[in-house]
Structure 1
Amino acid sequence: MKRFVYYFAWTLAIVFIVYIGTVIEANIVETARETYELFPRVLFVAIFPVILGFLMRLPRFLLERKEQKFRGFDWFKFLAVGVPSLYFVVMTFLPYTSIGAAIPSFMMTSQTSLTTIAYTAGIVFGYVLLDSFHKTDVAEAKTK
């Protein structure tokens, strides 16, 4: 029962943060319509899903941290899943910066599917970032 309440409280907190995020995004979109400045919205679309993915893994991460179940970092998982998803997150806002002009066009993501790619990749990156911390027995098994 205690575990249920713990996860239910986290779920309510995440739902509240999603609600606050949609309110903030609506304000950013309204400001973008008035000022024609797209960078704040694109940056929000890139960063907010990372925070959501981070929050989705945080309850279990805190329980593992409390029990001291992990000691290492799973570089293979981070490099295989985290870095490609980070690439898509960064490519959502990088073309809107001064560095964007130097990026070859084949490396940029499609603007038509920008939000879908950014949200999915951001949630995956935020989750994998915390999930890459692993238990010592997992670390020993992977090195053998």
Structure 2
Amino acid sequence: MGMRYQIRLEEEAKKNFELLPVVLFATLFPIVIGLFLRVPKLIIEMKQDKQWGFDWVKFIAIALPSLYIITFSILSYTPLGKNFTWLPDIIIFSSPTIQVIAGVVLGYTFLDSLMKE
């Protein structure tokens, strides 16, 4: 389903010469997949009678670097990205595998940082 939508977006991008919707979808879809991967364990944890907390260390150590990669992969396709000549080449010109992994890790880690105390 996600692949069909991405193909449709790519066809529209070829017609309109606007890449940002394709880049946004290709970046945000893995985040949603990462969230879905963590939901079953989150549901089990929700059934326990404990107080909720947030693991800031895990979030800062794992999720923020992933967010950095994702942000700069999107930023390079926006008008704001033209001002950033120091964007890392590995993020911009590499295969989309890095962005996909970073998105899945970000989504999973965000829900994994929610914890029962």
Give the superposition deviation at 1:66. 2.1
CA distance, structure 2, for counterparts of residue 33 and residue 93 of structure 1? 18
What residue number does 1:71 align with?
A: 52
Q: Which runs of 5+ in 2 are unaligned?
A: none
TM-score, normalized by length of structure 1? Answer: 0.74
Q: 2:68 aligns with which of 66, 87, 107?
A: 87
Bigger helix share: 1
What residue number does 1:41 align with?
A: 22
Q: Cα RMSD over matched residues? A: 1.6
- Tell me the matched-pair count: 117
Give the superposition deviation at 1:109. 4.2
What residue number does 1:105 align with?
A: 86
What residue number does 2:98 align with?
A: 117
What residue number does 2:36 align with?
A: 55
Shift of the 81–115 alpha-carbon distance from structure 1 to 2, 3 Å rule, reads: same
**Which segments of structure 1 move beyond 6 Å, counting only runs of 4 or more?**
none
Deviations 1:46-82 (A, max 9, x none): 1000000000001111111122445210000000000
The answer to whether the 8 A contact 1:49-1:120 is kept is yes
TM-score, normalized by length of structure 2? Answer: 0.90
Give the superposition deviation at 1:106. 4.0
User: Identity over aligned residues, as a percent?
Assistant: 38
